[in-house]
């Protein structure tokens, strides 16, 4: 049916023109903090780099690309849009808020 979409979140059919588009981009922060001489002396960079390389050995090419930049576009229904706005990261309510 043209104009109709299936909600990517709950799987319900969305009536024409009632869907919301959700764009998610996850990428490594390109702004590196300034490194001071003190930082360099305190941190064992060789160990950190070899740890990182060990971690990367287990990742597929796709996972490595996603580690740098991941982007998706979803279509959702109105109830899912409301839920996403309330909890964009899907982490549940913050511990301090009442149930
Ligand atoms: Zn939905």
Alpha helix ranges (H) inside 1-99: 37-42, 45-57, 61-68, 78-86
How many Å apart are CA 75 and CA 22, to the nearest integer? 6
How many Å apart are CA 43 and CA 53, to the nearest integer? 17
- In the chain, count H helices and then E strands: 4, 4
Model confidence at 56, pLDDT cuts 50, 70, 90, reads: confident
- Summarize pLDDT for 10-41 with one digit per residue, the tens: 999 998 889 999 999 998 887 877 766 666 66
Q: Is 74 helix (H, G, I), strand (E, B) or coil?
A: strand
- Summarize pLDDT for 62-97 with one digit per residue, the tens: 888 787 789 999 999 999 999 999 999 888 766 675
- In the prediction, which pLDDT does 80 show? 95
CA of 91 to the centre of ligand 1 (A): 17
pTM: 0.60
Q: For ligand 1, a single-atom ion, which residues have Cβ within 5 Å?
A: 7, 9-10, 77, 80
CA of 77 to the centre of ligand 1 (A): 4
CA of 20 to the centre of ligand 1 (A): 10
């Amino acid at each position: 049916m043209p104009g109709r979409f299936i909600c990517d979140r709950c799987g319900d059919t969305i009536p024409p023109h009632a869907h919301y588009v959700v764009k998610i981009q996850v990428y490594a922060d390109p702004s590196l903090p300034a490194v001071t001489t003190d930082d360099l002396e305190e941190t064992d960079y060789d160990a950190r780099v070899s740890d990182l390389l060990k971690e990367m050995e287990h990742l597929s090419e796709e996972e490595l690309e996603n580690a740098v930049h991941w982007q998706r576009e979803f279509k959702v229904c109105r109830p899912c849009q409301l839920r996403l706005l309330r909890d964009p990261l899907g982490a549940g309510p913050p511990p301090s808020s009442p149930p």
